[in-house]
Copies of this chain bind each other. A is one copy, B any other.
Amino acid sequence: MRHPFSPPDIRVEFDVALIVQKYGGSSVADAESIKRVAKRIVDTRRAGHDVVVAVSAMGDTTDELLDLAGQVAPIPAPRELDMLLSSGERISMALLAMAIHSMGFEARSFTGSQAGMITTADHGSARIVDVTPIRLREALDEGAIVIVAGFQGFNRDTRDITTLGRGGSDTTAVALAAALDADVCEIYSDVDGIFTADPRVVPKAQKLNVVSAEEMLELAANGAKVLYIRAVEYARRHRVLIHARSTFSSSVGTYVLGPGMSVPEGEEGEEMEEPIVAGVATDLGQAKITVIGVPDVPGKAAEIFKVIAKSGANVDMIVQNVSAAATGRTDISFTLPKTDAATALKALVGDQSDIGFENLVHDDQIGKLSVVGAGMRTHSGVSATLFEALSVAGINIEMISTSEIRISVVVRGDDLAEAARVVHTAYGLDGDIEATVHAGTGR
């Protein structure tokens, strides 16, 4: 069965367009990769388009620099750490510009500050507050291909270099696309686009040609790794058309559409039946903490989650058991990223006597499965299909949470892959052929 979002002939061609492309670290890991990416950029230019490229640091450069920093200072000064890390993109962008040059095309590289990427002063996790791409426009007007350092910017008040944190280069690309009013922002990785499920987990997963930004946000927040939430959020707010596609092929990837947006070049009129479910996301990165024997009096849950919030841990799902009247106590379970679990446990233990709970149970053998689809708003029975499929497969549901367009369940980690496959089938998402999976993960 073909997924309704995968018609055979959605091919988007622009006449003369301004195209922003983003290449991650694995796409520019060595000299050969850089030359391959340069060729792709040159091909886009040859087709008559203006091209602006956001590029990450080469391969493991950022990790190597972090390692060096750790060797000279146990807790590196944040301003200097940003200065250090920002050198990574400086290397990759200059090499990429050189490679393009030697193919006979004019290319110029720009640092975050030269590109006018203005951010807050929060070193390591700066947010973009303005983009003033004056020099980029000049370079484009002069016919040059523009290469911009991803992941970095500068603060106007301190005049210091900043970095944007995880997924920063995606955000750089989208912000450039917004500021330059680009026709499309192509995010390249080593996968073909957004799939109805992770093809490594669900072999019959199909590539989506289109996904809505709100669905993409839910998918990204619940385990899909191809795009970063911040970039998708920025794109939705600034009406940037994202095209997630593969460095290794020239076929169409997945378009991410914000509200009111459509696939360009007359595709917008095409009537496509909106599927109820866009995809199934899986996440093995969560842990579950259960607070046992919490006094069943008003305000106790608030107390617990205030303590956890203060520790900096990000709570995801919460379930409170029905109180056992006999004891006057109840249990509260919640999930959070595995990496935050130690912090949260420590914070809770520190306030145990104040809160008055009896015990803590930590469980990192869970898996979260999320079904995402904008069609859920208008269709009933979506959750029934999910529960029925899991029940038939004999998979136990431990927690449930829902949003307007998502249902998530927690199951045993060992059951997660099987759960994803049966649910994928139950919603009619299976493709006819198995998807090809590239090695590595997208960045």
Contacts and interface: CB of A to CB of B under 8 A. Distances in A.
Interface of A: 31, 34-35, 38, 65, 68-69, 71-77, 79-81, 83-84, 86-88, 90-91, 93-99, 101-102, 107-109, 114, 135, 159
Given A68-B31, A93-B83, A159 B109 contact: no
Contacts of A98: 69, 72-73, 76-77, 80-81, 84
A95 B114 contact: no
Nearest to A71: B31
B95 A72 contact: yes
B86 A90 contact: yes
A96 B99 CA distance: 32
Contacts of A34: 72
Instruction: Count this chain's copies in the assembly.
Output: 2
B90 A94 contact: no
A35 B102 contact: no
Given A69-B95, A73-B98, A95-B68, A109 B87 contact: no
Given A31-B72, A159-B114, A91 B102 contact: no
A97 B68 contact: no
A195 B97 CA distance: 45
Most buried by B among A77, A86, A159: A77
Contact of A102 (B72, B109, B159): B72
A95 B84 CA distance: 7
A77 B101 contact: yes
Give the one of A71, A83, A97, A102 with max B CB within 10 A: A83
A80 B65 CA distance: 22
Contacts of A74: 102
A88 B86 CA distance: 11
Contacts of A77: 97-98, 101-102, 107
- Nearest 7 pairs of A and B residues by beta carbon: A31-B71, A84-B94, A73-B102, A83-B94, A73-B98, A87-B90, A72-B99
